[in-house]
Amino acid sequence: MSHSSTIYARVRYDALHYWLQPTEKRDYLGHPHRHTFHITASAFVEHDNRDIEFHDLKDMLAEAILFMSNQEGVASFGPRSCEMIGAELLDLLPNTVYQVEVREDEDVGAIVTRGLEN
């Protein structure tokens, strides 16, 4: 019987972000505010014996997060939404990573999937 597998790695990261054009109801989100971001990268694997080592995937994800969020020594995603964070991480990670989930404080978030054209 054939099967396919996906692996994932998750990183928790405390950082600031803000919404450039908040609605009137949510205008407080226009100011920098802190979240614990829970970011998960999922990758396709071709066999069941660590095609990609979990810890290597986690290291790649952590390095990509640091690369895009370090603004003059402050952990900040700036005006990026969860969707923007996920899309940018997909651009920084290998093509075997097909999906990134970005959650704020475990409560809300977004799942971004690599397009078929990539």
- Judge whether 15 and 76 are in contact, CB under 8 Å: yes
pTM, entire model: 0.91
* Segments of the chain scoring below 50 in pLDDT: 118
Pick from 31, 37, 21, 53: nearest CA to 88: 37
Dmax (CA) for the chain in angstroms is 55
**Residue ranges of E strands in the chain:** 5-17, 33-45, 70-71, 74-75, 97-104, 108-113
CA–CA distance, 60 with 39 (Å, rounded to integer): 12
pLDDT (tens digit, 9 = 90+) per residue, 33-43? 999 999 999 99
Burial class (CB in 10 A: 0-12, 13-18, 19+), 30: middle
pLDDT (tens digit, 9 = 90+) per residue, 82-104? 999 999 999 999 999 999 999 99
Q: What is the pLDDT of residue 118?
A: 46
Q: What is the pLDDT of residue 115?
A: 81
The domains found in the chain, sorted by start residue, are 5-113 (3.30.479.10)
Q: What is the pLDDT of residue 3?
A: 77
Q: What is the pLDDT of residue 57?
A: 97
